[in-house]
């Protein structure tokens, strides 16, 4: 009995010490916030401002971007916010953005702290820090030169040919269908081919395992609102690794992630054994860089996710915008008549990338509906001053992209789809268009995504007219519970331009 009591006493002591630690580690940063001299909602001791964020999202249909709209109206373009114990400074001030992303990049070289990540993403370039990130970036950047992207455009042509055949069948059937799902299968096939050198067969085979697991992963992406484990990890980051371990093993999304990672590992190990290192894809570059197999697999998984969801989402929203604005759709279709025979892929790539109106549609679609609304975030790694605010090491910075893209000061009539904004001849105000971020830590695959978007959209509109279904003609249902912006479906009717 005395031994039991002693163990119980020790256990209670450790629990009490843990509670004291939690309280003090939250109290002092929250109390110190007042010395920053910027406004913000008062945080709760353990939750920070998570309850406020949850309340706003419960009222608006779980739209994260709307949280920042509401708080901007209350506090202005720069304010403080606590995600659990972590202090974020949210800013839309352009000079702040310029300083953080470019001028003082060495003070903000890391992305935000993200504890609730699997090993696959935690160890990939997207989450790497300091010199490790710089080393990986130097290894990966050569995969996205103009010459490499031109070579990879052949894969986009091959897969888009299958995509167009499927659209032709739908045109003959004269039925409404969900083109968003088809875009996802297309972009997954392209990234599998370009990055990994294998055919996923996602377009013709709707039961393709890669398509199933990728869709399942994104459909069940955890957010604090619908995942108790992620909610705990945000409130108590110290236990996030345990929560993430449980999530990976208990959730369907975690199981899909494990399936995809293992499939990629088999492909990569097969490539290494077969000494296939002379192909024009990302895997060959990583293998030739003598990176450890685990690092190659983790970066491959990150590229798979980035190349799959964001580009398909951008194409889906652009399709809706063009279907809703028939005059813009026809103006673009007329410009596309100048393109060469699509079989001459290099000529096609060179011309499609320089079409002014297609470029304007691309930029305006991403301005209105950026696939990622809250990922251009940084961590202060060395104390400095920006905009009169003293940033201590560890402070997080968040840039709400949706708000910046719809700021009427920079974009007159910001909710209107007007590609002509990018044809005016006036120089664009820097740092007002940020779908891929900016500065040294901007998206390494930006030019690849642009190439894929433009070729797919150009080839589609050259051959077909887009007609929206009545259910989405006037209003598009949006989903934004995490940083990803999405919509349930884009239901359209396809009409051949040759008929």
pLDDT digits (tens, 9 = 90+) for 245-255: 888 888 888 88
Long-range contacts of 342-347 (CB under 8 A, 24+ apart): 342/157, 342/459, 342/462, 345/153, 345/154, 345/157, 346/150, 346/153
Q: What is residue 341's DSSP assignment? A: -
- Residue 394 belongs to domain spanning: 46-496
Termini Cα distance of the chain: 89
- CA distance linking residue 172 with residue 282, whole number of Å: 38
- CA distance linking residue 162 with residue 76, whole number of Å: 49
Residue 461 within a domain: yes
Residue 22 within a domain: no
| Residue in 333, 252, 340, 265 with CA at minimum distance from that of residue 298 | 265
Sign of torsion over alpha carbons 389, 393, 398, 399 = positive
Q: Is the pLDDT of residue 11 over 70?
A: no
| pLDDT tens track for 413-422 | 999 999 999 9
**Other beta carbons within 10 Å of 242:** 13
Residue 197 within a domain: yes
Residue 411 within a domain: yes
Contacts with 58 (C-beta within 8 Å, 6 or more apart), sequence order: none
Beta strands in 260-415 (DSSP E): 377-379, 384-386, 389-391, 396-398
Domains: count for the chain: 1
Burial level of 314, CB count in 10 A (0-12/13-18/19+)?
buried
22 against 484, higher pLDDT = 484
Predicted local confidence at residue 358, as pLDDT: 97
Q: What is the CATH number of the domain that holds 213?
A: 1.10.630.10
Average pLDDT, the chain: 85
Q: What is the mean pLDDT of residues 436-451?
A: 91
| pLDDT tens track for 143-196 | 788 888 888 888 898 899 999 999 988 777 888 999 999 999 999 889 888 777
Output phi, psi for 145, to 5 deg: -70, 165
Give me the helices (H) in 63-197, please: 64-75, 94-98, 119-122, 130-140, 146-173, 179-191
Are the beta carbons of 105 and 440 closer than 8 angstroms?
yes
- CA distance linking residue 118 with residue 245, whole number of Å: 7
Residue 313 within a domain: yes
Say whether 443 counts as a known binding-site residue.
Answer: yes
| 342: helix, strand or coil | coil
Q: For residue 371, give Cα distances in angstroms to 65, 192, 402.
A: 12, 20, 10
Residue 431 within a domain: yes
427: pLDDT confidence band, cut at 50, 70 and 90? low
Residue 25 within a domain: no
Are the beta carbons of 497 and 463 closer than 8 angstroms?
yes
- Per the rule left: phi > 0, alpha: psi between -120 and 50, beta: everything else, 453 is alpha
Output phi, psi for 323, to 5 deg: -65, -35
Residue 19 within a domain: no
* Two tokens, residue 478: 């949006």
Sign of torsion over alpha carbons 488, 352, 373, 264 = positive
| pLDDT tens track for 352-377 | 999 999 999 999 999 999 999 988 89
């Amino acid at each position: 009995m005395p031994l039991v009591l002693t163990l119980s006493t020790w256990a209670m002591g450790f629990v009490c010490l843990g509670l004291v630690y939690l309280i003090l580690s939250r109290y002092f940063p929250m109390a110190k916030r007042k010395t920053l001299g910027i406004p913000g909602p008062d945080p709760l001791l353990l939750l920070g401002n998570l309850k406020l964020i949850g309340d706003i999202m419960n009222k608006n249909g779980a739209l994260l971007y709307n949280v920042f709209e509401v708080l901007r109206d209350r506090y202005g373009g720069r304010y403080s916010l606590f995600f659990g114990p972590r202090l974020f400074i949210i800013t839309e001030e352009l000079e702040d953005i310029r300083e953080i992303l470019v001028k003082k990049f060495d003070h903000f070289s890391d992305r935000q702290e993200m504890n609730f990540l699997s090993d696959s993403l935690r160890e990939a370039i997207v989450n790497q820090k300091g010199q490790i990130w710089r080393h990986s970036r130097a290894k990966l950047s050569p995969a996205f030169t103009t010459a490499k992207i031109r070579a990879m455009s052949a894969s986009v042509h091959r897969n888009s040919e299958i995509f167009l055949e499927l659209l032709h069948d739908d045109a003959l059937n004269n039925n409404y269908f969900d083109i968003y799902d088809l875009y996802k299968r297309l972009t997954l096939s392209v990234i599998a081919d370009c990055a990994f050198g294998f055919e996923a067969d996602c377009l013709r085979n709707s039961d393709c395992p890669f398509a199933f697991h990728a869709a399942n992963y994104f459909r069940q992406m955890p957010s604090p609102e619908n995942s108790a484990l992620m909610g705990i990890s945000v409130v108590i980051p110290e236990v996030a690794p345990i929560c993430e371990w449980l999530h990976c093993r208990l959730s369907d999304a975690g199981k899909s992630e494990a399936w995809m990672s293992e499939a990629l590992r088999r492909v990569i190990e097969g490539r290494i054994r077969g000494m296939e290192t002379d192909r024009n894809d990302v895997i060959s570059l990583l293998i030739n860089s003598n990176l450890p197999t685990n690092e190659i697999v983790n970066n491959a998984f990150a590229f798979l996710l980035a190349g799959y969801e964001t580009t398909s989402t951008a194409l889906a929203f652009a399709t809706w915008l063009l279907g809703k604005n028939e005059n813009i759709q026809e103006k673009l279709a007329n410009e596309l008549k100048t393109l060469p025979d699509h079989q001459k892929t290099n000529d096609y790539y060179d011309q499609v990338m320089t079409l002014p109106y297609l470029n304007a549609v691309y930029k305006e679609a991403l301005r209105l509906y950026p696939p990622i609304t809250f990922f251009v975030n940084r961590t202060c790694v060395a104390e400095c001053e920006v905009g009169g605010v003293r940033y201590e090491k560890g402070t997080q910075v968040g840039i709400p992209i949706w708000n910046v893209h719809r700021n009427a000061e920079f974009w007159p009539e910001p909710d209107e789809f007007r590609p002509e904004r990018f044809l005016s001849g006036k120089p664009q105000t820097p740092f007002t268009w940020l779908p891929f971020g900016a500065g040294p830590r901007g998206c390494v695959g930006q030019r690849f995504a642009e190439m894929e978007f433009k070729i797919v959209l150009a080839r589609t509109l050259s051959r077909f007219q887009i007609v929206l279904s009545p259910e989405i003609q006037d209003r598009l249902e949006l989903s934004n519970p995490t940083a990803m912006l999405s919509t349930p479906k884009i239901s359209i009717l396809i009409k051949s331009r040759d008929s």
